[in-house]
Amino acid sequence: MSGGPDPIDRLADRVGIERRYWDVSGREYHAPDDTVIALLSAMGFQAGSAPERRETLEEIEADERTRLLPPCYRLPASGEQVLPLPAAGAGDRDALDWRIETEAGEVVEGGDFFSALPWCDDTSGRRLFRPPNPLPLGRHRLELRLGSAQTFTTLIVPPDKAYGVAAAAGQDARLWGATAPLYGLRSARNFGIGDYSDLAALAEVLAGRGADFLGINPVHALYPGEPWRASPYSPSNRLFLNTAHIAPDRVAEFAGNAAAEDHLARNAEGLKAVRAGDLVDYGAVDAILRPLFEILYDRFKTAAADDRRAAFTAFCTRGGIRLRRQAIYDALAEHFAAPERGFSGSGDWPDAYRNSQNPAVARFAAEHADRVGFYTYLQWLADEQLDTAQVRAKAAGMAFGLYLDLAIGATPGGAETWSDPGAYGRGVSLGAPPDAFAPNGQNWSIVPFNPRALADRGFEPFAALLAAVMRHAGLIRIDHVLGLARNFWIPEGGLPGAYVRFPLDDLLAVAAIESRRAGTVIVGEDLGNVPEGLRGRMEETDILGCRVVYFEKEWDGRFRPPEHYPCRVIAAIGTHDLPTLAGFWAGRDIDWRERNGRAAEAVAADRRERAEERRQLAALLSPNDPASCAPDGEVVPDLVVERLHRRLAQSPAALAALRLEDALGEVEQANLPGTVDGHPNWCRRLPVAVEELGDDRRVTRLAGIMNGERGRKSDPSP
């Protein structure tokens, strides 16, 4: 092993760690050596000492010299599919073998470099490999053997573009839809939390008012024994569903079930209380639902019809090992639950159970087959009901139906990382660098994908996530799409973070493949410190961006007129992490931050800035008479609400979103970033029941505005 200077900078650059970066204000940061070493270790590299770093760099460079192809290679779906290889050496021209296994499992193989295709030479002396038949859309595995060199690579064959709005709704379509918190839906029949049946009913109501999509928070699997862990953006597993949203009274095993009726009769008072509450009481809801789900599972085991059993078996077959590991994880979490904290993550389990492939886990699953079956059954029910919601939304006339959300990552110790730890970084969390909003930066306690592992595995884990979310959606949102280009990794132990580059073009190609397969339009949340060139590549791929009124400002602080927004975006007033329109006007988010300890001087500055923002918004909506919008009032005028939605609808944006909280005049926001116990995040319920929303005057009025400005042929509002 050679000596010499520490190659830490070269090594960091080679694996995609950016030592220097700039925040949104233009301030420069430099990641210290300790941070770089921690991030290298998180990727699986030996880098604790200078000699180890030299050896690691030499291994990387040697691998690159000897590989016939990179780990992944993109080929066009139309046109000539050719792979350039290194120039032929003196002794390797007669020792070639190749084998292609397509994503569908078809195998083609051959050899003999000189006598026939797929080999040829070009004028530069490179060897060119042409597949004997054009490869279809997808990710295919190519194995090359040339002399002593052997290479496995993934051939990515993407479409020219992802499935776009034009494909779904026609050229130049300008559509609108609504967003709402699923957990916060109120109905006469639900169990104190919005469920998948409420979702279907709301989609039908909104379709009748002209909406073409209904967007909700992520519905990834959470922690069934820890109902207080309610953040949809801190999931246990993004491949599976949140079973708390199952509507038990819509399950086949509920009808005529005397045990279920008795359970509800004994819990009548508790059910009445959770239905009436303004906040979701997750613990009380779980105490009613969990025993009821177990009653339904008992009925399924003993009395399910043959066709229902066959459907369950088919679901298990389709879910495969990933579904089984999800169910085993939930059973283990229940088994190792501590009385003082409920269920536990895999980091709290005995060592023998922290690895999903350990024989102890297999023995546990065999010994607790009934509990594994129970959690599999719940996933099946959730999948059935979400599928039904999408079918009903489309049948009601929505162009897209459900607009589902893919969270940026999963929590450490959850089912996703326990099931497949090799796909993720170790000992790091995703977050954001310091900025004016968060001077100390943000740590989201979310585990990132390992870009090295993704490439080595042909991006299959990423493709599987997309397919899982697209399965029941006509439109999906990729949270923090900036992460396809780079992610901010924060090591454990208090070290500063740094950006890690990701293979953007490969990830966009995979996203386009899955989008075309599912017939699902993709929206990327491109808010924040956007990497240079990302929005251009999104537009080329036909992935929509986001434009949020609160963030769209000119250099002088004025709000950008919505008619200046781009076409290939979804436009909205705010998001779940931002105040409602009424809350923004009243400065309610500032009140909450003051209550949570924000310094008095900072609060005063926030209030001055908000007052100026109100004036600027009034000037945007009524340039000749801004006083008519009452910029200094604490209650947002109806005139502001209607004019702002009209301007939003008039924008060239392909899609516009009406937030139901804004339509209903809600002051409080869904989530206050940076808080855990200091704000009731992810539990606020809408004040109007699903059954009544279609007749609500405010919803009807704004729906009429959206229809009129978005070019609807007829206005479905009464």
- Cβ–Cβ under 8 Å, residues 449 and 545: no
Q: Which of 190, 100, 114, 113 is nearest to 152 (CA)?
A: 100
Q: Structural domain boundaries of the chain? A: 78-157, 573-718
CA dihedral sign of residues 182, 187, 193, 198: negative
Tokens in use for 566?
């781009």
Tokens in use for 604?
């005063």
Tokens in use for 702?
């704004």
Q: What is the DSSP letter of 178?
A: E
Which pLDDT belongs to residue 713? Answer: 46
Tokens in use for 314?
């088919």
The Cα 11–Cα 191 span in angstroms is 55
Which pLDDT belongs to residue 717? Answer: 44
Which pLDDT belongs to residue 344? Answer: 64
Q: What is the 3-state secondary structure (H, E, C) of 292-315?
A: HHHHHHHHHHHHCCHHHHHHHHHH
pTM: 0.94
The Cα 462–Cα 449 span in angstroms is 9
CA dihedral sign of residues 430, 432, 438, 440: positive
The Cα 434–Cα 104 span in angstroms is 45
401: β partners: 213
Query: Each residue of 666-696: pLDDT tens digit?
Result: 999 999 988 888 999 999 999 999 999 999 9
- Cβ–Cβ under 8 Å, residues 288 and 192: yes
Q: Which fold has domain 78-157?
A: Immunoglobulin-like (2.60.40)
- Cβ–Cβ under 8 Å, residues 407 and 479: yes
Give CA separation, 267 vs 150, 174, 253, 274, 696, in Å: 65, 48, 19, 11, 32
The Cα 626–Cα 639 span in angstroms is 11
CA atoms within a 13 Å half-sphere pointing along the CA-CB vector of 345:
16
Contacts for 389-397 with beta carbons within 8 Å, 24 or more apart? 389/196, 389/197, 389/199, 389/200, 389/203, 389/472, 390/472, 390/473, 390/474, 392/200, 392/203, 392/204, 393/200, 393/203, 393/204, 393/207, 393/214, 394/474, 396/203, 396/204, 396/207, 396/208, 397/207, 397/208
The segments of the chain whose pLDDT lies below 70 read: 1-4, 24, 86-95, 111-127, 339-344, 435-439, 712-718
The Cα 375–Cα 244 span in angstroms is 12
Which pLDDT belongs to residue 634? Answer: 81
The Cα 206–Cα 389 span in angstroms is 13
Peptide bond before residue 86 is cis, with ω within 30 degrees of 0: no
